[in-house]
């Protein structure tokens, strides 16, 4: 199992290049640039890294066809791929924060994504693409400059329908916040669907978004994890049910607004929720604590590998260079 790094939404092209080259120096597989309504364009963010690096992969996470027509998505992706000499990747998504910011709803997600994947995978420098879908149309598309090794195209989603679509059309699938027991079942289902689609697991990538908060200062680590907790599975029961009982799940549901308030304030104080419950949550759905927790993180990563992940996408937060150094020097050598 390889390791990718997810940069935060505030990374500039210069910062992405610096952090990406640091990750490359440790032999990590890839870097993802987050795509938010208020972030820099993720393709632009990765442009300097694409030009200055030699081995590491890079791509935006996640871009929805509901916000960007697949033809324009293709041009941006193929341009990044050309700049990096065939090392680009993309996570296509159903649409989230960006859609909310422009007043759109997530409608016909599977159909939109299917057509997007068909357009991206069907593009060729040798033959003209004419595509007439229910939603998207592309006529006379022939990017003759698109001659490098094609980019890897992932679909990012946790849902069974999305998984099935990925096994039919995509190069890989990225889930988020799946603990190991959930991941095992999900991978087993994906492998069965690959077989039904006439494909094999060795030709398909499976990754999982996972939050990294481990720091030299354990209190700073835990504060960062509490601040970001609202985003872990958006507090949906299925992500926490493997390690919370029914009473704890009810408290979590009843106080969703308190988790959200903490996130919106950028605060590590989650009001009206027992501290021991918050601790249990962050300890099971992220990597958190001081340097003494690195061995625990390594053990969990090995379990993810045994569950069938080909790579894992680790989201770094504050002090990203420090996090990448810890991962590169302490974690990655134990997984190779």
Neighbour tally for 126: CB within 10 Å = 8
pTM of the model: 0.95
Compute how many other C-beta atoms are within 10 angstroms of the C-beta atom of residue 98. 20
pLDDT at 269: 98
- The whole-number pLDDT of residue 39 equals 85
pLDDT score for 178: 98
Given 3-state DSSP classes, what are the helix, strand and coil percentages for the chain, each rounded to the nearest 5? 50, 15, 35
pLDDT at 81: 99
Q: What's the average model confidence in pLDDT over 12-18?
A: 98
| Enclosing H/E stretch for 10 | none
Cα(133)–Cα(114) distance, integer angstroms: 10
Backbone angles phi, psi at 207, to 5 degrees: -130, 170
Domain chopping of the chain, boundaries: 2-221+286-335, 229-284
Categorize the per-residue pLDDT at 309 as very low, low, confident or very high, splitting at 50, 70 and 90: very high
Q: What is the pLDDT of residue 99?
A: 75
Task: Give yes or no for residue 100 having a pLDDT over 90.
Answer: no
Q: How confident is the model at residue 304 (pLDDT cuts 50, 70, 90)?
A: very high
Mean pLDDT of 142-159: 97
Confidence band for 152, pLDDT divided at 50, 70 and 90: very high
Q: What is residue 103's predicted lDDT score, i.e. its pLDDT?
A: 81
Task: State the number of CA atoms in the 13 A half-sphere of 48 facing the CB.
Answer: 13
Q: Which residues of 229-249 are buried (b: 16+ CB within 10 A; e: fewer)?
A: bbbbbebeeebbeeebeeebb
**Residue 148 φ/ψ, nearest 5 degrees:** -75, 170
pLDDT for the residue 9: 84
The two beta strands, 129-132 and 152-156, are unpaired
172 DSSP β-pair partners: 154, 205
Residue 20 has pLDDT above 90, yes or no: yes
What pLDDT is stored for residue 222 in this prediction?
99
> How confident is the model at residue 97, as a pLDDT?
76
pLDDT band at 228 (very low <50, low <70, confident <90, very high): very high
> What does DSSP say about strands 137-141 and 30-34: parallel, antiparallel, or unpaired?
unpaired
The verdict on domain 2-221+286-335 having CATH code 3.20.20.30 is yes
Read off the pLDDT of residues 198-223 as tens digits, 9 standing for 90 and up. 999 999 999 999 999 999 999 999 99
Average pLDDT, whole number, for the chain?
Answer: 96
Q: What is the pLDDT of residue 199?
A: 97
């Amino acid at each position: 199992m390889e390791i990718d790094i997810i940069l935060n939404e505030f990374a500039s092209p210069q910062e992405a290049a610096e952090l990406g080259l640091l990750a490359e120096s440790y032999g990590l597989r890839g870097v993802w640039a987050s795509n938010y309504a208020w972030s820099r364009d993720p393709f632009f963010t990765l442009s300097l890294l694409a030009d200055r690096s030699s081995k590491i992969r890079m791509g935006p996470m996640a871009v929805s066809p509901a916000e960007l027509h697949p033809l324009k998505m293709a041009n941006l992706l193929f341009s990044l791929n050309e700049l990096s000499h065939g090392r680009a990747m993309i996570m296509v998504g159903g649409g989230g924060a960006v859609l909310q910011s422009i007043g759109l709803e997530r409608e016909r997600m599977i159909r939109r994504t299917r057509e997007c994947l068909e357009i991206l995978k069907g593009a060729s420098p040798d033959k003209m693409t004419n595509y007439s879908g229910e939603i998207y149309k592309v006529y006379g598309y022939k990017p003759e400059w698109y001659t490098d090794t094609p980019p890897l195209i992932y679909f990012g989603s946790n849902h069974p329908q999305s998984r099935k679509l990925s096994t039919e059309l995509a190069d890989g699938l990225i889930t988020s916040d799946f603990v190991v027991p959930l991941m095992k079942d999900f991978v087993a289902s994906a492998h069965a669907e690959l077989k039904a689609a006439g494909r094999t697991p060795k030709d398909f990538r499976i990754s999982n978004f996972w939050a990294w908060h481990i720091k030299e200062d354990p209190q700073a680590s835990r504060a960062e994890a509490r601040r970001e907790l609202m985003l872990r599975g958006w507090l949906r029961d299925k992500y926490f049910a493997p390690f919370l009982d029914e009473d704890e799940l009810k408290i979590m549901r009843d106080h969703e607004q308190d988790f959200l308030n903490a996130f919106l304030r950028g605060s590590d104080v989650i009001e009206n929720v027992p501290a021991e419950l918050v601790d249990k949550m962050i300890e099971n759905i992220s990597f958190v604590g001081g340097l003494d927790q690195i061995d625990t993180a390594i053990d969990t990563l090995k379990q993810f590998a045994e569950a069938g992940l080909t790579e894992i996408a680790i989201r770094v937060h504050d002090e990203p260079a420090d996090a990448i150094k810890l991962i590169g020097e302490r974690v990655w050598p134990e997984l190779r």
